[in-house]
Amino acid sequence: MSKGMYKAKAWGAKGGNFGILAAFIAFAAFPFYWMLMTMFKETRDLMNPNHNPYLYHMRPTLEHVRVLFFDTLYLQWLWNTAFVGFLVVLITLITAIPAGYSLARLTGKTGERLGIGIFLTYLVPPTILFIPLSKVISSLGLQDSLYSLVLVYPSFTIPFCTWLLMGFFKVIPKDIEEAAMIDGHSRLGAFLKVVMPMSIAGVLTVIIFTFTLVMQEFVYGLTFITASSRFTVSVGVPTFLVRGDVYFWGSLMGACFIASVPIAILYNLFVDRFIAGFTVGAIK
């Protein structure tokens, strides 16, 4: 093969890789582009079937943003979601990390069966549980309180995160902990100073998964909360911006865009660790 043909083949391969990558980037970015376009489009422009939906035919407007921030309690809903998410992530980490580590170090079929049993509880549909859980919340006097969500959400974040961390801790050799204990550390010290730094990918996976689940959960938030000032984003936005058969598309897209961008940035910052957390143990 001549040098010119070799260069042409190399450039062709690079061009093909670039084209595939550009197609995937466009596919991933299109929902954000669509939300951003709709957010600033006038309603007449948005509803006109003769207008190209991907372009502006009239001057952009801030009316939809005004409706979102001044005619709804969107900022309060964001705060409520962040508050609930922070507490649920904290409870999940405090519970799932020691549980996953204990099950990972529990040898034999007992540990394996317990791990499978914990994971199976995550597969129970929320639509089956929200009625008995509503009775529990009512008995505790937490109805119409954000703490009802803080109490309920860990019931389905902890099982999955425990199972996830159990698989992650299993691939960390016991020899490393034993060496740290020989050097003078207690088991807790070896866990905190040796195991946890090696498990940061799994911990980040738990944080991202838990917070994302809290942001998108709808059934429990609608069941346990009735006051609009205590709604989370996933409940408040469709409740106030969808009225009968009238959809406030511009404000809806603005609410979705503002809420989704931080999560997208978080995913992209830690995407390598996030993937490692979900695929650990698949290959060695």
Quick: pLDDT tens for 12-47. Answer: 667 777 888 888 888 888 888 889 888 998 888 888
Tell me the mean pLDDT in the region 56-67. Answer: 88
Q: How many domains does the chain have?
A: 1
Residue 16 lies in a domain: no
For position 240, which CATH number holds?
Answer: 1.10.3720.10
Please state the φ and ψ torsions of residue 80, each to the nearest 5 degrees: -60, -45
Q: 177, 171 in Cβ contact below 8 A?
A: no
- Domain extent, residue 158, equals 72-279
> For residue 242, what are the β-bridge partners?
247
Residue 22 lies in a domain: no
Phi-psi sector, 184: left (phi>0), alpha (psi -120 to 50), beta: left
pLDDT of residue 283: 42
State the CB neighbour count (10 A cutoff) for residue 90.
14
HSE-CB of 102 using CA atoms within 13 angstroms? 7
Quick: pLDDT tens for 263-278. Answer: 888 777 776 666 655 5
Q: 133, 152 in Cβ contact below 8 A?
A: yes
pLDDT of residue 233: 92
Which is more confident, 106 or 72? 72
Q: 241 pLDDT exceeds 60?
A: yes
For residues 202-217, b (16+ Cβ closer than 10 Å) or e, as one string? Answer: bbbbbbbbbbebbbeb
Phi-psi sector, 277: left (phi>0), alpha (psi -120 to 50), beta: alpha
The bridge status of strand 242-243 relative to strand 246-247 is antiparallel
Residue 46 lies in a domain: no
* Confidence category of residue 77, pLDDT binned at 50, 70, 90: very high
For residues 54-81, b (16+ Cβ closer than 10 Å) or e, as one string? Answer: eeeeeeebeebbebbbeebbbeebbebb
Q: 245 pLDDT exceeds 80?
A: no
Residue 20 lies in a domain: no
Which is more confident, 9 or 225? 225
Q: Which helix (H) or strand (E) holds 243?
A: strand 242-243
pLDDT of residue 199: 80
Considering only CA atoms, which of 195, 207, 205, 190 is closest in space to residue 171? Answer: 195
Q: 76 pLDDT exceeds 90?
A: yes
* Confidence category of residue 106, pLDDT binned at 50, 70, 90: confident
Q: 2 pLDDT exceeds 70?
A: no
Cα distances from 112 to residues 19, 77, 166, in angstroms, run 45, 41, 10
What does the alpha-carbon distance between residue 60 and residue 80 come to, in Å, rounded to a whole number? 30
What does the alpha-carbon distance between residue 89 and residue 94 come to, in Å, rounded to a whole number? 9
What does the alpha-carbon distance between residue 60 and residue 45 come to, in Å, rounded to a whole number? 10
Quick: pLDDT tens for 79-92. Answer: 999 999 999 999 99
Residue 246 lies in a domain: yes
Quick: pLDDT tens for 173-230. Answer: 777 877 878 777 777 788 888 888 888 878 888 888 898 888 888 888 888 888 888 9
State the CB neighbour count (10 A cutoff) for residue 14.
10
The tokens describing 65, both together, are 């943003």
Q: 162 pLDDT exceeds 80?
A: yes
pLDDT of residue 163: 83
Among 69-73, 181-185, 240-244, the range scoring the smallest mean pLDDT is 181-185
Q: Looking at this protein, which amino acid is placed at residue 96?
A: A
Please state the φ and ψ torsions of residue 163, each to the nearest 5 degrees: -65, -40
pLDDT of residue 279: 55
**What does the mean pLDDT of the chain come to?**
82
Q: 48 pLDDT exceeds 50?
A: yes
Q: 42, 53 in Cβ contact below 8 A?
A: no
What does the alpha-carbon distance between residue 260 and residue 241 come to, in Å, rounded to a whole number? 17
The tokens describing 282, both together, are 């698949």
